[in-house]
Structure 1
Amino acid sequence: MDFLNDILTGALGPFGPIIAVGTLGVVLIALTLILFMNRPEDPLDKLKRDQKNLAAGNSQAQRLRGSKNEKLDKYAGFLEPQDEKQLSEMRKKLMQAGYRDRDAVRYFHFAQFALGVGGLILGVIYYVLFKSGAETTTTQIIMYTLGPGALGYMAPKYWVTKRQQQRQEEITDGFPDSLDMMLVCVEAGQSLDQSIIRVANEIEASFPAIAEEYLIVSQQIKAGRDKAGVLNEMAERCGVQDISSFVTVLVQSQTFGTSIADALRVYAGEMRDKRVMRAEEKANKLPTKMTLATMMLTVPPLLIILVGPSIVGIMELTAAAQ
């Protein structure tokens, strides 16, 4: 071990053993992944997949749900959570962010893995080329090597979370206007299905997220699906409380046979009032958010103007006394 340590230190510098261990770890990870990805498919998994394909329905329904990348099936155990609850939550989050592809979960975890390993390799290369000759502590070595890998691993999750928040904000902002337009269409004599299509086409330029949801609802209703189930799926895809309440109102109106126009009129008025309340809430928060900036920009100059002459006078008196 001492002989090997002397060789690595002489070839790579004082941190030669650490670099060798890190390189060996990366190589072992790569070999493990290659062996894992090239392993033969389990016959039991193939049988289960065939049974799922038989139970999927006819080809038209399969086309409406979207095609699935069969090449990723052999890596499903690596690219998908094994827990059904985690898989469902991840698929729901990606759907709320606008990623509806059937392989979205696999793409997400592959992006995490690829960016994490890529960041780790770049961190090791950066440390070897630029920092290996300098005096660095163990904490700095870990930051230089593992820091980029951790950032790369967390980047897809941050991106999806931001996309989810932006999409939900867009849906929340455009929902009151869509309700007003839907109310006008229903009172003009159109059915609810036709009103949803008309509103989706009219509002697409301003709020494409909610227009897309309305178009999906209209296509699923045209395909013969139950309207209550389609609306509940829309509420789940959006992840907005206002949409969930709206779906509940429509389902109850359809169940009890009450007028949809009256329900839309009442709920549209509530959504307008709620939008005004959100705007007032943001306006009331603004002075509090500006307090810190105001103190940082006004208090120091004020102190300099008021206290500065006194400090100069004290310094002059002290110098004269000495």
Structure 2
Amino acid sequence: MIETAKNLIESYLGPFGPLMLVGLLGVMMILITLPILMQKQEDPLDRLRDQARKQRKDGNATEKLRTATSKDKLEKYSNFLEPQDADEYGAVKLKLMQAGYKSKNAVRFYHFFQFALGVFGLVLGGIYAIYKTSQGDVTTQNLMLMCLGPGVVGYMLPKYWVTRRQATRIDNITNGFPDCLDMMLVCVEAGQSLDQSIMRVSNELKAGFPELSEEFEIVSHEMKAGKPKDSVLRDMSERCGVQDISSFVTVLIQSQQFGTSIADALRVYASEMRDKRVMRAEEAANKLPTKMTLATMMLTVPPLLVILIGPSIYNISQNLGGG
């Protein structure tokens, strides 16, 4: 009976049919058991230990990696979807913040999309592998590539997307920062304080540079809430991930600490940023001929060869045919 079933499977799916069915069954079992394993059930003994630990504390609250919310449906899977190491969690959170995702649950959703797209890719790869095997013989190497390839692509897709968003956002902030400094210098020289100039710049830059406007708006709100100015500025430089803004924050903090004029510091730094933007433009312009060389050769040399050598080749072929 087992041999008959094996022959029947091999007749429909090929020689690797039993192996594919076992693999598909394993994936289905994993998908069925994962929700059960990921459910976070609270142990009464752990609850007692937590209460005893809280009683032994001297009033100092421990720092948590994340804040649980009642509306978050992925909270019970947090141990599976989020890094438990503080350094790893902070690195992922910083990368997402620099990409523009500032939600409290951004890390959780990021890992959820990685897991979901990876499993979805494995399922699609398995279905495609079964279809190709039923059409004809498929080597073991191609079978593994068809099964695992979509899963790897689906798992890496969120990371690629976040990296691209981070690079695009950093470029937009870098391009808009010199104009921001010029506008802030005008506001300070007109008699406004640094807080008022930051608020005015955040309102004026919304149309042209929304990323930079959002960062200055966050700085303005945090200053209004009473957060120390140096801490607010350092947080802004960390969120932006731009070296120019980090240097600008250092200049502002030093000007505040030593009592020097903020207008003079802004004037010098704004002039440097304008020169730096011109140098970046010149660098991009100097790279352009090198990048166009290959395309120019591919698009111009073959037509020139056809125009110059084509008639000669045609005459030679006619003479040889006539001879």
Give the aligned residue type for 1:29.
Answer: I
Identify the match of residue 76 of structure 1 among 75, 78, 85: 78
Deviation at 1:185, TM superposition (A): 0.8
Give the conservation status (yes or no) of the 8 Å contact 1:96–1:238. Answer: yes
Q: 1:68 to 1:276 in 2, by over 3 A?
A: farther
C-alpha spacing 1:32/1:25, structure 2 compared with 1 (3 Å): same
Q: 1:286, 1:223 → 2: CA distance? A: 48
Unmatched 5+ stretches in structure 1: none
Runs of 4+ residues over 6 Å off in structure 1: none
C-alpha distance after superposition, 1:157-201 (max 9, x if no partner): 111011111111111111111111111111111110111011101
Partner of 1:16 in structure 2? Answer: 17
CA deviation profile, 1:121-150 (whole Å, cap 9, x unmatched): 112223324552223222322232222111
Q: CA deviation at 1:213?
A: 0.5
Using the TM superposition, give the Cα deviation of residue 81 of structure 1 relative to its aligned residue in structure 2, in angstroms.
1.8
Structure 2: which amino acid aligns with 1:212? E
- For residues 229 and 4 of structure 1, the distance between their equivalents in structure 2, rounded to whole angstroms, comes to 70
Look up the match of 2:139: 137
Percent of aligned positions that are identical: 59
Within 5 Å, give how 1:65-104 maps onto structure 2: 71-104=73-106
Map of 1:6 onto structure 2: 7
Matched, 1:33 2:34: yes
Question: In angstroms, what is the RMSD of aligned CA positions?
Answer: 2.8
Partner of 2:303: 301
What residue in structure 2 maps to residue 260 of structure 1? 262
Q: Describe the shift of the 1:212–1:186 C-alpha distance in structure 2 as closer, same or farther (beyond 3 A).
A: same
Q: Is the 8 A contact 1:196 1:218 kept in 2?
A: yes
Q: AA paired with 1:90?
A: V
- Structure 2: how far apart are the matches of 1:231 and 1:68? 32
State whether residues 69 and 103 of structure 1, in contact with CA within 8 Å, keep that contact through their aligned partners in structure 2: no
1-side partners of 2:22 and 2:183: how far apart?
65
User: Partners of 2:10 and 2:84 in 1: how far apart?
Assistant: 43
* 8 Å CA contact retained: 1:68, 1:103: no
Equivalent-residue separation in structure 1 for 2:69 and 2:221 (angstroms): 17
**Following the alignment from structure 1 to structure 2, what is the Cα–Cα distance between the partners of residues 69 and 201?**
32
Given that residues 40 and 77 in structure 2 are in contact (C-alpha distance below 8 angstroms), is that contact kept between their aligned partners in structure 1?
no
- TM-score, length of structure 1 as denominator length: 0.88
Query: Equivalences for 1:25-64 in 2 at 5 Å?
Result: 25-41=26-42, 44=46, 47=50, 55=61
- Normalised TM-score (structure 2): 0.87
Helix, strand or coil for the counterpart of 2:187?
A: helix
**CA displacement at 1:226 relative to structure 2:** 1.0
The alpha-carbon distance between structure 1 residues 80 and 20, as it changes in their structure 2 partners (threshold 3 A), is: same
1:265-284 equivalences in 2 (<5 Å): 265-284=267-286
1:188 to 187, 190, 199: 190
Say whether the 8 Å CA contact 1:119–1:148 is kept in structure 2: yes
- Aligned partner of 2:148: which letter? L
Q: 1:223: how far off? A: 1.2
- Would you say 1:172 and 2:174 are equivalent positions? yes
Residue 69 of structure 1 deviates from its aligned partner by 5.5
Deviation, structure 1 residue 320: 5.5
Asked if the contact 1:68–1:102 (Cα under 8 Å) also holds between the matched residues in 2, the reply is no
Summarize the Cα distance change of 1:289–1:34 in structure 2 as closer, same or farther, 3 Å threshold. same
- Residue pair 2:97, 2:239 contacting (<8 A) in 1 also: yes
Report the Cα distance in structure 1 between the residues aligned to 2:139 and 2:183, rounded to whole angstroms.
64
2:212 aligned residue: 210
Task: From 128, 139, 144, give the equivalent of 1:126.
Answer: 128
Number of residues paired by the alignment?
313
Question: 1:56/1:180 Cα in 2 relative to 1: closer, same or farther (>3 Å)?
Answer: farther
Please tell me whether the aligned partners of residues 117 and 155 of structure 2 are also in contact (alpha carbons under 8 angstroms). Answer: yes
Amino acid at match of 2:91: E
- Encode CA deviations 1:270-321: one digit per residue, 9 max, x unaligned: 1111111111111111111111110001111122223333434444455566
Tell me, in whole angstroms, the C-alpha distance in 2 between the residues paired with 1:248 and 1:87: 27
What is the identity, as a one-letter code, of the residue corresponding to 1:20?
L
Instruction: State the partner residue of 1:228.
Output: 230
- The letter of the residue matching 1:18 is L
Residue identity matched to 2:17 = G
**Which residue matches 2:151?**
149
Q: CA deviation at 1:243?
A: 0.6
Shift in Å at residue 3 of structure 1? 6.1
Counterpart of 1:28, as a letter, is M
| CA distance in 2 between partners of 1:313 and 1:11 (Å) | 60
Question: Retained in 2: the 8 A contact 1:66–1:102?
Answer: no
- Cα distance in 1 for partners of 2:38, 2:250 equals 46
Q: 2:313 aligns with which of 311, 314, 319?
A: 311
